Amino acid sequence: MKKLNKKQISKRLNTFWDKYWKISQDFNEKVSKLEKDMNKKLNLGFNLEFFHVDGECVGIGAEDYSKRKEFPLIHDSEFI
């Protein structure tokens, strides 16, 4: 098996890495806008957020940890 030249491959992968980060940034900006819209429309007196575990969205809960007794996490399975 041919030994790979990590430096050469890294140069070739750089474009894909840049595109990945652009897509990721765009997605995060859209999620942030959605959270702001959700909080504005619900007007609960505290903010909610999409809650992630190990990189996966698992539900919606209070952004401020101290408010989680008032508003516990609603798991993704509860929306279905």
Contacts of 51 (CB under 8 A, 6+ apart): 57, 58, 59, 60, 61, 73
Full-model pTM:
0.82
Q: What is the pLDDT of residues 19-66, one digit of tens each?
A: 999 999 999 999 999 999 999 999 999 999 999 999 999 999 999 999
- The tokens for 4 are 């790979």
Domain range annotation of the chain: 6-79
